[in-house]
């Protein structure tokens, strides 16, 4: 099925689309701003994971509270991504992105100043809302700035590299700031980065506006379903079963609403395209494996090995330090051989890395543990950029914001559930949770690797 067969039909037409945007000054500032925003969003996740034990000690909360410190952000992020892509189309990617950066920066300051768990969770939720606005808008900015598919694929790989650099710096920076000062510093670091992103946006031309309608009933049912599902995964008492029932009911209502609306938040016709289905499922599995392992190993390094926050951050450095280069390499391989090769190879490497990590225990030399994490990072870094680029190529330009929001909403939901489920395993013992989490992640990636073989073979001519 080609991208022009998607249902429902695109919203904007020559008769209804807004006036053309002002001429741009070049794609560089748009790409730089988009990269920086993605980096800030990703930095926040990797920094927080390393600082969790210090947060728990300072504000007197247990593992359940720490899971919500991660998931209050991720859940708001995931749920609102579904409609924030349409918002980026509606008001223009540049305007949506600027709004998100400002709110994210202010919320980061509120996180750093939070006196206790309720205030921290509230500020983290606002951070998630702002990040949801920023992410699809940043990808839409990249698509607007680069018209050529090959150059756009390379730009997407650079955009992803911005996030992977933040992943590399996050654990070390978070550990250093937490050890030298306080966990609160991990949020204050976002302030200068937010100001720089705003400065870059002043050099980007106006984005076009498209009349993409907002789907409030769909958004409401999605938020309730995802919140209830996450609650069910984190809590262990009878309330979890009630929450799971609520999640099932509201998810069913969401599907009914989306199927009947003329302009749904999630056009279900997108899932008729094999590339879209593979991108969503494989992207989610990669997110579960990578961020789930960062969460569990962050606990393992500090609670089992007895390392400081800085020591735990340094353990992740070999894993994350090579990600940016692998992102760029994967784009080059995809440009020459097609997206399927790096997607499949990357996931195979990740599965092998996860299985190798099963030998890790408290007696394993620390250097060996750090090195054994490297294949997982290399595999995920090799597979993710062509997955994102493939999905953007599979949909029409006017659906770019919606498609980006959908892909990342499902990925972030998968990440939130990974933290919730793997964290629940850790409540009965971190070492046992580590092995169970590794096996689950390896099983999911094996399935999505097989699914990725259904992607079409495409060989692009070298420019």
Structure-block tokens of residue 153: 């694929």
CA distance from start to end of the chain: 27
Does one domain contain both 170 and 314? yes
Does one domain contain both 93 and 233? no
Does one domain contain both 241 and 384? no
C-alpha to C-alpha distance for 19 and 208, rounded to whole angstroms:
7
Does one domain contain both 222 and 358? no
The per-residue DSSP string of 80-114 comes to: HHHHHHHHHHHH-HHHHHHHHHHHHHHHHHHHHH-
Residue for token digits 């938020």?
A: 223
40 in Cβ contact with 381 (< 8 Å): no
Does one domain contain both 291 and 154? yes
pLDDT at 18: 43
Non-local CB neighbours of 184 within 8 Å, separated by 6+ positions = 111, 112, 113
What is the total count of domains within the chain? 2
C-alpha to C-alpha distance for 300 and 435, rounded to whole angstroms:
11
Question: Which candidate, 79, 100, 419, 456, places its Cα nearest to that of 265?
Answer: 79
Report yes or no on 301 lying in a domain: yes
CATH label of the domain that carries residue 343: 1.20.1250.20
Reported residue count of the chain is 463
100 in Cβ contact with 131 (< 8 Å): yes
The per-residue DSSP string of 362-400 comes to: TTS-HHHHHHHTHHHHHHHHHHHHHHHHHHHHHS-GGGH
Question: Which candidate, 430, 427, 50, places its Cα nearest to that of 233?
Answer: 427
- Please write the tens of the pLDDT for every residue from 57-74: 888 888 778 888 888 888
Report yes or no on 463 lying in a domain: no
Question: Which candidate, 110, 39, 45, 35, places its Cα nearest to that of 416?
Answer: 45
Residue ending a domain, choose from 225, 248, 268: 268
Does one domain contain both 261 and 285? no
141 in Cβ contact with 93 (< 8 Å): yes
Report yes or no on 20 lying in a domain: no
Does one domain contain both 426 and 373? yes
The per-residue DSSP string of 182-221 comes to: -TTHHHHTHHHHHHHHHHHHTTSPPPP-------HHHHHH
pLDDT truncated to tens, each residue of the chain (463 aa)?
A: 333 333 333 333 333 344 444 444 567 777 888 888 888 887 887 788 788 888 988 888 887 788 888 888 888 887 787 777 777 777 787 788 889 999 999 999 999 999 989 999 999 999 999 998 888 788 778 877 776 677 777 787 777 777 767 777 778 888 888 888 889 999 998 898 888 888 888 777 666 666 666 778 888 898 888 888 888 877 766 777 888 899 899 999 989 998 888 777 777 877 888 888 898 999 999 989 988 888 889 889 988 888 888 888 889 888 877 776 787 788 788 888 888 899 999 999 999 999 999 998 888 999 999 999 999 989 988 898 888 888 877 777 667 667 776 787 788 788 888 888 888 787 777 888 888 999 999 999 999 999 998 887 764 443 3
Does one domain contain both 149 and 223? no
Report yes or no on 458 lying in a domain: no
Does one domain contain both 298 and 251? no
Non-local CB neighbours of 438 within 8 Å, separated by 6+ positions = 293, 354, 355, 357, 358
Residue 302, classified by CB atoms within 10 Å of its CB into exposed (0-12), middle (13-18) or buried (19+), is buried
pLDDT at 137: 84
Structure-block tokens of residue 110: 């509120």
Report yes or no on 284 lying in a domain: yes
Residue for token digits 């392992």?
A: 293
pLDDT at 2: 33
Non-local CB neighbours of 379 within 8 Å, separated by 6+ positions = 345, 346, 347, 348, 349, 350, 351, 352, 353
C-alpha to C-alpha distance for 227 and 246, rounded to whole angstroms:
10
33 in Cβ contact with 145 (< 8 Å): no
Report yes or no on 457 lying in a domain: no
Structure-block tokens of residue 104: 């994210």
139 in Cβ contact with 404 (< 8 Å): yes
Does one domain contain both 64 and 100? yes
Does one domain contain both 441 and 295? yes
Report yes or no on 375 lying in a domain: yes
DSSP-based three-state secondary structure for 408: helix
pTM: 0.74
Does one domain contain both 167 and 190? yes
Report yes or no on 52 lying in a domain: yes
Cα 447–50–38 angle (5° rounding)? 65
Non-local CB neighbours of 6 within 8 Å, separated by 6+ positions = 267, 269, 270, 272, 273, 395, 396, 399
Name the residue range of residue 230's domain.
Answer: 216-268
């Amino acid at each position: 099925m080609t991208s022009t067969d998607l249902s429902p039909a695109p919203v904007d037409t020559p008769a209804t689309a807004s006036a053309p945007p002002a001429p741009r000054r070049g794609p560089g500032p748009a790409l730089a701003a988009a990269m920086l925003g993605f980096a800030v969003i990703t930095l926040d996740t990797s920094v927080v994971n390393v600082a969790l034990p210090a947060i728990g000690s300072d504000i007197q909360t247990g593992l359940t509270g720490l899971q919500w410190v991660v998931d209050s952000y991720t859940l708001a992020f995931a749920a609102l991504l579904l409609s924030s892509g349409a918002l980026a189309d509606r008001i223009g990617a540049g305007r949506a992105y600027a709004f998100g950066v400002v709110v994210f920066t202010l919320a980061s300051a509120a996180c750093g100043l939070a006196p206790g768990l309720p205030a921290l969770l509230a500020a983290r939720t606002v951070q998630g809302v702002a990040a949801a606005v920023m992410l699809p808008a940043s990808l839409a900015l990249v698509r607007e700035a680069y018209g050529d598919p090959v150059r756009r694929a390379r730009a997407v790989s650079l955009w992803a590299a911005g996030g992977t650099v933040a992943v590399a710096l996050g654990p070390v920076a978070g550990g250093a700031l937490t050890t030298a000062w306080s966990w609160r510093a991990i949020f204050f670091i976002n302030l200068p980065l937010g100001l720089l992103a705003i400065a870059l946006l002043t050099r980007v031309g106006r984005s076009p506006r498209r009349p993409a309608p907002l789907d409030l009933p769909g958004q409401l049912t999605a938020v309730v379903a995802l919140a209830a599902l996450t609650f069910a995964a984190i809590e262990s008492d009878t309330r979890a079963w009630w929450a799971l029932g609520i999640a099932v009911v509201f998810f069913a209502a969401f599907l009914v609403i989306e199927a009947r609306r003329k302009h749904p938040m999630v056009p279900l016709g997108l899932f008729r395209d094999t590339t879209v289905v593979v991108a969503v499922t494989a992207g989610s599995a990669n997110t579960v494996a990578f961020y789930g392992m960062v969460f569990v190993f962050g606990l393992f390094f500090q609670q089992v090995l007895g390392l400081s926050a800085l020591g735990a951050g340094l353990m992740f450095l070999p894993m994350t330090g090579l990600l940016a280069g692998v992102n760029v390499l994967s784009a080059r391989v995809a440009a020459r051989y097609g997206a399927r090769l790096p997607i499949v190879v990357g996931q195979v490497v990740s599965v092998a890395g996860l299985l190798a990590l099963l030998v890790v225990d408290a007696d394993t030399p620390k250097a060996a543990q750090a090195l054994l994490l490297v294949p997982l990072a290399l595999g995920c870094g090799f597979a993710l950029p062509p997955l994102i680029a493939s999905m953007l190529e599979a949909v029409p330009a006017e659906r770019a914001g919606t498609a980006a929001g959908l892909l990342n909403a499902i990925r972030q939901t998968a990440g939130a559930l990974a933290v919730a489920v793997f964290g629940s395993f850790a409540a009965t013992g971190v070492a046992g949770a580590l092995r169970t989490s590794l096996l689950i992640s390896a099983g999911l990636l094996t399935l999505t690797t097989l699914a990725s073989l259904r992607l079409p073979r495409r060989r692009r001519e070298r420019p």
